[in-house]
Amino acid sequence: MTATLTINPAFTIGPVRRRTFGAFVEHLGRCVYEGIYEPDHPRADEDGFRTDVIELTKELGATSIRYPGGNFVSGYRWEDGIGPKENRPTRLDLAWHSSDPNHVGIDEYMKWCEKTGVEPMMAVNLGTRGVQEALDLLEYCNVPSGTHFSDLRRANGREEPYRIKMWCLGNEMDGPWQIGHKTAEEYARLATETARAMRMIDPNIELVVCGSSSSEMPTFGSWEATVLKEAYEFVDLVSAHVYYWEKDGDLASFLASAVNMDHFIDSVAATADYVRAAGKHTKRINISFDEWNVWYMDRAESVPPTGDDWPVAPVLLEDHYNVADAVVVGNCLISLLRHTDRVASASLAQLVNVIAPIMTEKGGRAYKQTTFHPFALTAAHASGEVLRVGITAPTVTTEKFGEVSAIDAVATYDAETSKTNIFVVNRDPENAHELRVPVRDLAGGTDGTLPTLLSAVTLHHDDHTWQATADDDTSVAPQPNATARIEGDQIVVNLPAISWSHIALG
């Protein structure tokens, strides 16, 4: 059971984009309240932010944070979240049948981004609101002074403009569950007019138009074509959203979920390129994969409250991830990097508590889920250029995708450091595989010196259902792979079933 990777630094896909390692904070469940913000917590700072969560966010390597939704944004009145907190109204959140006290709003979010060192990615409400409200928010955030909303920001304690670069034109407007759901034609007109007007205030912003919320949507493909035909010249990116979970015990198909992500990206890129050719446009529209993760939608924790129960920060979508989930997350990152020529930005949904790599206890500890590790290590080590990787490997039979490669991988090469980083998964649910990587093409210097094996770590457990807890989030984490070795001009490493690995050469 041997697999081979063929890697050559001459064959590149494109640069490693730091925005690939973004995440997502929505006013949903305990993501904001008791997640990033808990003023009474022993480790809260002077602004009420949990410093333990800030530290873990930095360790995760998150580079951008999308906010404030998600489904939440389609009913959000951003003005409720500014000014003195004692004057802010509590509002019903129809998306998640909850209440929001608006103790965290635009200014708090931006302050948290600055403390954490992440780039903000703001979404505007195109569900219950429209062009004018988007313009007001942009004025509040990006205009220096001398106007109503810019001076209101200054009165609220922020003299300098935030200069937010990335803006999402609504969220999942193709979905019937969305407040203010629209047809493709209706949304295309609204998004285009909103984009046109926002650029009149700030022509340098980057705008993300809503694509499909799933490749399973009946309008997938036709939605993108209709929206981009109208909005092409006014936007920069089209969004893509996807979630995976193990259904009906079909572990093999779940482990191969990245096959679907590959298909999703290729299909959206092809549609955007069709509109480009048909419209005789010169610029290229890329993809913002600004929601992706493992999410067990069929579990009880994903069912919102009902009736007269409108709680603040209820326990919602708090999936506890296992080793197999982490392997799928690692494989999705491989897919995103492999498409770095078209995926310009991505956001793991979400950051804290809600389908998240970071979990918190109210008033207590914060800890890492299994999915934290492949994300953090990929974000830390992927640099330079993404390389095309030739994969020769045994196949696995899946019910959903047919025969798929048991091994999937991506590699990056940094010319400044002469380091090659390989990220690889064994998505075979039963069998270990020996991986061989010929490194002759990676030889450096005039004497053709072969690269050395710097490190090899693997995330695996004999019980792939193992989950981290606040009491134990370290016993199953990436560990040095003792099988990694050099044999002649090849790197050889054994990959156990259901595993994610990182191999560094230099």
Q: How far is CA 192 from CA 79, 130, 138, 199, in A?
A: 23, 11, 16, 11
d(CA 463, CA 484): 22
| DSSP secondary structure of 253-288 | HHHTTHHHHHHHHHHHHHHHHHHHHHTT--S--EEE
Residue 25 burial (10 A CB sphere; 0-12, 13-18, 19+): buried
Q: What share of the chain is helix, strand, coil (3-state, %, to 5)?
A: 30, 30, 40
CA separation for the pair 376, 380 (Å, rounded): 6
What is the 8-class DSSP label of residue 58? H
Contact 494, 424 (CB under 8 A): no
Fill in the DSSP letter of residue 300.
Answer: G
Neighbours of 84 (CB within 10 A): 7
Contacts of 204 (CB under 8 A, 6+ apart): 165
Which pair of structure tokens corresponds to residue 298?
């069929």
Active-site residue, selected from the candidate residues 139, 172, 224, 230: 172
**How buried is residue 217: exposed, middle or buried, by Cβ count under 10 Å (0-12/13-18/19+)?**
middle
Is 193 an active-site residue? no
Active site residue 291: yes
Across-strand partners of 194? none
How far apart CA 47 and CA 123 sit, in angstroms, is 23
Contact 72, 93 (CB under 8 A): yes
Report residue 273 as tokens.
């390129």
Q: Which of 139, 224, 246, 291 is catalytic?
A: 291
Look up residue 128 and give its two tokens: 């219950």
The first and second tokens of residue 395, run together, are 């196949």
Task: Reduce the secondary structure of 110-178 to three states and give it as a string.
Answer: HHHHHHHCCEEEEEECCCCCCHHHHHHHHHHHHCCCCCHHHHHHHHCCCCCCCCCCEEEECCCCCCCCC
Residues belonging to the active site = 172, 291
